[in-house]
Amino acid sequence: MMEPILTRYVREPNSYTLDFFLKHQGYDGLKKALGMAPNDVIEAVKASGLRGRGGAGFPTGLKWQFVLKDTPKPKYICCNADESEPGTFKDHLLMERNPHLLFEGCLIGCWAIGAKVAYIYIRGEFYHVQKIMEAELAKAYAQGYVGKNIMGSGFDCDIVIHRGAGAYEAGEETALIESLEGKRAQPRIKPPFPAVAGLYNAPTAVNNVETLCNLPAILTNGAAWFTSLGPEKNGGPKLFCVSGHVKKPGVFEATMKTTLRELIFDHAGGLRDGHKLKAVIPGGSSVPILLPEQLDIPASFDDVAKAGSMLGSAGIIVMDETTCMVWVARNLLHFYKHESCGKCTPCREGGDWLLKILTRLENGEGEMRDIDLLVSVGGNIAGKTLCAFGDAAATPALTTVKHFRAEFEAHVREGRCTLPADWRASKTPVGAH
């Protein structure tokens, strides 16, 4: 197992404080960056091959390079701290236990692209985390690590923590920008991309929390060190969130050489006693299911894609044999129906249709043709919306039918859920919020 980089001190008392951070190489990466030309920082990040940790895995250095240079407008870094993908809780840990690492990453990003403000858009539900961060940010301002003339370099940069108010869609980068501008969190038509016209119509880079937290170590230890930590094009430390039917759910830091099986059975302690693995969602609820025999692959962006799924936000949800897959699909479609922003018709209406069909099936009131109807409706959402939400919403229905069609058929034949579990509601599905 590798020595953790991002989460090394998270279990230490007071690891979130500025004093602790400064005693452990805190703000060293920023110091290094401020001694370099901004363009050289971008080149260093490009050389490291750092890929966005929010879900898409897009190279961060490239994203920064696209940010328009010759413009009279201000530029912005928006940190996407709206972590809402079901099964994902890594940014939560980083912000709670290591907020200065994120501030340092934000400042390095601002220096590289020429921004004077970084907005950290944190989901409203993380208010307990935000209060810790605000207290620490005030200390960083007072000691000259944020604000005017940072560490005597002449560089001025502010960090603002902006609280969301409960919207999964705000995690989509253009929807995040809309929300930050005081509107509904709905995605924009692209192009133009945020790098050209983002926040307040100015060039903007939107980066995930974990992505920004990787920057200090890249600058301190160098690009070669970073790439050496993982398979080709999947370098660096990575945080994996394992939840569901495992003994020790949690956030585990490892390289992307680690296999999914190791993450589930070694890091997370394997399944509950006496239970067998049934299915794994490897990258947050929006990605296709992997079966137990598909887990001996490195948990990297490219290897998981090759296996027919996505690493996404590395939210690994583990389900044992007591889990009804019709129920899983219904649970997730309830989420997607509720969270659809309503802008694109296929997603707004289709998500609702999928939920209704799945509820019917789960309650034993479905017909055989409903199963094909799921596939048909799902296929009419995926790829037909402005943002990736549509694909995400269709996936739970499509992937469960693909791998577990027999379970759907059994529900119809027997007129009831054929796999009720003692950890589920004893009555019919509970009401919607």
Partner 1 sequence: MSFHPLMVYDRDHFHRSERTRLDEGKAFTFTPERRAALDDLLTKYPPDQKRSAVLAALYLVQEQEGYLTANGMRHVAGILEMTPAEVEDVATYYVMFFRERVGKYVLQVCRTLSCALAGAERVTEALSEKLGIKVGETDPSGMFTLLEFECLGACDRAPIVMVNNEHWHERVRPQDAGRLVDDIRARGVAAFNGCHLKLEKS
DSSP for 268-320, please give it.
S--BSTT--EEEEE-SSTTS--B-GGG--SB-SHHHHHHTTS--TT-EEEEEE
CB 377 within 8 A of CB 352: no
Least Cβ distance, residue 300 to partner 1 (angstroms): 22
Q: With respect to partner 1, which residue has the nearer C-beta, 170 or 304?
A: 170
Least Cβ distance, residue 122 to partner 1 (angstroms): 11
**3-state helix vs strand vs coil in the chain, percent to 5:** 45, 15, 40
CB 195 within 8 A of CB 67: yes
Least Cβ distance, residue 12 to partner 1 (angstroms): 6
Q: With respect to partner 1, which residue has the nearer C-beta, 158 or 409?
A: 158
Least Cβ distance, residue 213 to partner 1 (angstroms): 16
Q: With respect to partner 1, which residue has the nearer C-beta, 45 or 289?
A: 289
Q: Round to whole Å and give the CA distance between 303 and 49.
A: 16
Q: Round to whole Å and give the CA distance between 84 and 284.
A: 9
Q: With respect to partner 1, which residue has the nearer C-beta, 26 or 87?
A: 87
Sort residue 132 into left (φ over 0), alpha (ψ -120 to 50) or beta.
Answer: alpha
Reduced to 3 states (helix: H, G, I; strand: E, B; else coil), residue 98 is: coil
Least Cβ distance, residue 328 to partner 1 (angstroms): 7
Q: Round to whole Å and give the CA distance between 313 and 113.
A: 25
Least Cβ distance, residue 101 to partner 1 (angstroms): 15
DSSP for 308-349, please give it.
TS--TT-EEEEEETT--HHHHHHHHHHHHHHH--S-SHHHHH
Q: With respect to partner 1, which residue has the nearer C-beta, 37 or 425?
A: 425
- Please identify which residue in the block is written with the tokens 């509904």: 184
Least Cβ distance, residue 278 to partner 1 (angstroms): 11
